[in-house]
Amino acid sequence: MTPLAAVRYMSVIMAPSAIAAANREKRQRQKMKRRDAILVAARKVFAQKGYDGTTIADIAKEAGVAAGTVYLYYASKTDLFAALNLQLFAVINQALRLTEAPPDLVAGTQARIQGVFQAAREHSDLIRLVFLNPDPRSEVAHRMKRADEERMAPLAQLLRGGMEAGIVRRGDAHLLARIVNGVVIMGLYQCFVLSDGSLVDTYQDIITDMVVGALQPN
């Protein structure tokens, strides 16, 4: 077999697998696009009707798909609400990661809290939706609690580093992380749920002072 014939032979053999791979990638992109569209629709309908007033049929209608299609991606309304909760805290975590925080306690804390509040302002509808949670005894609430515990692990690690550097008071890093998380969540709730978010600068300054006061070495 000549070299040219060998190349042609290999191209014929490999072509079906390459086409199949391309088709798989296309189907995967379509699935991801449909999943995202369903989540966007759920975010809109939950905001309009509340958790209890929303049905899977409502979400399917808003997304332009059949109700059975929604169940292919999310097993229940609870799963959809939990996914929105994860989406919110992914936004917050991204803000923390992207914030260029100085190494000192005051400026670093101020920069991180400002980053969180600015991200929350851009997603204030999601803040209101997730914080106006259904019954705290529900499966959604339990999932949110478990997610909070996982989300606080990086913060606890950051606080341990601050303790070792002598800029954060010594103590139980996980407990301190829970306190800081609670204070920030309280500020976000007051700013974007009970208020309209117009005083975001005031809230973030007050929360910064509270957090710094809690973390400063004795």
- The highest-level CATH class for domain 76-218 is mainly alpha
Tens of pLDDT, residue by residue over 80-138, are: 988 888 888 888 888 888 888 888 889 999 999 999 999 999 998 888 888 776 555 56
Q: Is 3 buried (19+), middle (13-18) or exposed (0-12) by CB count in 10 A?
A: exposed
Tens of pLDDT, residue by residue over 150-206, are: 778 888 998 999 999 999 999 999 999 989 988 998 999 999 989 988 999 999 999
- The highest-level CATH class for domain 1-74 is mainly alpha
Given a contact cutoff of 8 angstroms between Cβ atoms, the answer to whether 59 and 38 are in contact is: yes
Q: What's the whole-model pTM score? A: 0.74
Helix (H, G, I), strand (E, B) or coil at 168: coil
End-to-end Cα, the chain, rounded Å:
83
Instruction: Copy the structure tokens of residue 69.
Output: 């299609």
Domain range summary for the chain, segments of one domain joined by +: 1-74, 76-218
Query: Mean pLDDT for the chain?
Result: 84
